[in-house]
């Protein structure tokens, strides 16, 4: 009986040796790849946390510079942050904050540059939309209407689309394209149904162009039903 068991165990060992001889290298490399990927993932997560922590400290510096009104410090601290931590959300928040301060103190070109950077490079669509809206408003104030419109023609997230249409109406009105402006305001009025105060402002703009948004909206519904 013992010999039979010994023979059976020997056969199993031979099978294991044969299997390992055939697939051992493949299994070893797969384990190395899996463990390497796990180590790389942990390393990446640690790097991200480290970057976010350092970026947070630099964002505080930009915020303090804005609060103190020290324009040179605002530009310097934002430039440092953009250079070192440009891929973080903190950097794009800092850009929006710095742009507002720069514009307030008459540095319009620098403000537009900061907003353009966010509009083109921010991974978060909300940051991109905010930057494009602010950039369009600055371009409108500067009389660069075509450039302002170019920022507003690309799609916005649904939450921002009403604001974009309102601003597009402002730009078109500045170009004396009143019928196109009215159409943009009408879209804004429809999309800002949850913002009563802002909707009243858009309604006033439509009234100034001789339009009643309620009447126009009813007419469009009737036309669509025919």
**Residue 175 is encoded by which pair of tokens?**
């170009």
> Residue 67's domain spans which residues?
57-154
CATH number at residue 92: 1.25.40.10
pTM of the model as a whole: 0.73
Q: Are 61 and 149 within one domain?
A: yes
Cβ-proximal residues to 127 (8 Å cutoff; 6+ apart), any chain: 89, 92, 93, 96, 118
Is the pLDDT confidence value at 11 over 50?
yes
125 with 143, same domain: the answer is yes
Tell me, yes or no, whether 88 and 141 share the same domain.
yes
Q: What is the pLDDT of residues 108-167, one digit of tens each?
A: 999 999 999 999 999 899 999 999 999 999 999 999 999 999 999 889 999 999 999 999
Residue 226 lies in a domain: no
Kindly state whether residues 169 and 117 are assigned to the same domain: no
SS3 assignment, position 49? helix
* 181 shares its domain with 116: no
In this predicted structure, what is the pLDDT of residue 59?
86
Same domain? 97 vs 77: yes
Cα–Cα–Cα angle for 128, 182, 169, rounded to 5 degrees: 25
pLDDT at 224: 34
The total number of structural domains in the chain stands at 2
pLDDT digits (tens, 9 = 90+) for 206-221: 999 999 888 765 444 3
Instruction: Verify that 180 and 129 share a domain, yes or no.
Output: no
Task: Establish if 137 belongs to a structural domain.
Answer: yes
Phi-psi region of 210 (alpha: psi -120 to 50; beta: other; left: phi over 0): left
């Amino acid at each position: 009986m013992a010999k039979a068991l010994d023979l059976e165990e020997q056969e199993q060992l031979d099978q294991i040796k044969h299997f390992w001889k055939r697939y051992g290298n493949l299994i070893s490399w797969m384990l190395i790849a899996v463990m390497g990927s796990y180590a790389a993932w942990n390393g990446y997560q640690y790097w991200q946390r480290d970057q976010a922590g350092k970026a947070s400290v630099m964002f505080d510096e930009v915020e303090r510079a804005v609060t103190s009104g020290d324009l040179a410090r605002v530009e310097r601290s934002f430039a440092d942050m953009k250079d070192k931590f440009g891929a973080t959300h903190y950097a794009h928040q800092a850009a929006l904050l710095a742009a507002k301060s720069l514009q307030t103190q008459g540095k319009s070109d620098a403000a537009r540059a900061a907003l353009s950077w966010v509009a083109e490079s921010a991974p978060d669509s909300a940051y991109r939309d905010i930057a494009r809206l602010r950039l369009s408003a600055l371009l409108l104030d500067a009389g660069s209407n075509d450039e302002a419109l170019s920022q507003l023609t690309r799609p916005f997230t649904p939450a921002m689309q009403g604001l974009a249409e309102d601003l597009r109406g402002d730009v078109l009105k500045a170009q004396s394209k009143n019928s196109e402006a009215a159409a943009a305001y009408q879209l804004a009025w429809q999309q800002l149904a949850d913002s009563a105060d802002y909707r009243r402002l858009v309604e006033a703009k439509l009234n100034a162009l001789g339009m009643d948004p309620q009447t126009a909206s009813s007419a469009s519904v009737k036309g669509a039903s025919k």
